Amino acid sequence: MEDLRETGTMKEFGHEHELGFRKDVLEPLFRSMMSAESCFLVGAGSIGKTRIIDHMIRTDVRGYYLGANFGQTLIIRLDMNRLSEYTEWEFYELMLFNIIQTIGQSENKELDKLSSEIMLKFLMPILDSPEKPTKALRFLELAITKILMADEKLFLCFLLDEFDDAYPKLPAKLFAHLRGIRDTNKNRLCYALFLRNLPRVVRPAKDHEGFYELFSRTMIKIGPYSKDDSISMLKQLESRKNIPVQLPVTFDKIYFAAGGHPGMMQAIFGFLAYMSETDPNLVDVNWLVEQDNVKEECQKLFDSLETLEKDALVTFAKDRTRPGREAASSLIAKGLVKLQDRNLIIFSPVFEQFLRNQ
């Protein structure tokens, strides 16, 4: 039988990010994890949430943030794109499967052995029983208990990635069960939700108050990249695309035009394959925003926003009318508007011009 625990982790190609890449996000996230506090992370579409997760699960990065707690912390990534029916059973099966894969790759021999046991005793018996979600839930609870009993210092954190589509579709009782699992294992288990929008926008809190209370007090903002992180990403593109950058100021130009948005930076960097670094179009927002690949990135970002946010941004870009309180709080949380010298500005000149063209 094929070992279901085998999986691969994609390595970065080219320039590898420094340990402190996206420290503005990962430092509070790891701090929350080590305090056993569930949290939610919010960032607009195409802002690089998946890249953050890919970075944080690197062994050296976990060691950098966790220090002495490195060996006792298991980060279990649940990609909601792997769900199709959004049922209780499917969600529990995914949790079990990812638990098995994660501990099966642990250097802890006892956990590696336990992963095989959990696969045979708990996962395999439910694979042909999608009509029995309670059975899957109980086996999941038993698996978690066995893992935590294996090492009294062990801690679990479930990362719920790409959660926006799954959040409103999953049954309310599932969230009650997740709350129950956490309460049973208080101080040793937490959840981190990765979202494009604020949780109260995606699903009303009254549908699942107990679960909502776990994470709602701890928000971590995922905004555009800092200048240092932007340059790190651009150097990675330089290696990957084999386009040597001759002038360091070129990185600054791309960062400023895109405002640190990874998709836009990648689109603008692509022009260096056929244009000079000193070409004035590289800093001309009117020219840039008319290029298909840049316009596409702007549109993706715009489409990921709520109607209230879209209207507020377009109005602000065109006539400087400040967004209302609700829209402003959401846009600031996502880093799409920010304070500069006491003035509210849109994070990217290119995106601002895109908004003016709407």
pLDDT value of residue 242: 93
**Alpha-carbon span 301 to 281, nearest angstrom:** 22
Answer for the pair 232, 21: CB distance below 8 angstroms, yes or no.
Answer: yes
Report the interhelical angle of 109-118 vs 88-104 (nearest 10°): 150
pLDDT value of residue 15: 55
pLDDT tens readout for residues 79-114: 999 999 999 999 999 999 999 999 998 878 888 889
Q: Which residues of the chain have pLDDT under 50?
A: 1-14
pLDDT value of residue 72: 87
Domain ranges of the chain: 23-221, 227-356
**Alpha-carbon span 127 to 129, nearest angstrom:** 6
pLDDT value of residue 339: 83
Pick from 278, 268, 260, 279: nearest CA to 241: 268
DSSP state of 12: P
Q: Which fold has domain 23-221?
A: Rossmann fold (3.40.50)
pLDDT value of residue 109: 82
> What's the pTM value of the predicted model, to 2 decimals?
0.90
**Residues 6 or more apart in contact with residue 87 via CB below 8 angstroms:** 130, 133, 171
Q: Other CB atoms closer than 10 Å to residue 187's CB: what's the count?
A: 10
pLDDT tens readout for residues 254-283: 999 999 999 999 999 999 999 999 999 999
pLDDT value of residue 108: 80
Q: Which two tokens stand for residue 11?
A: 């390595």
**Alpha-carbon span 203 to 81, nearest angstrom:** 18
268 φ/ψ angles, rounded to the nearest 5 degrees: -70, -40
pLDDT value of residue 151: 87
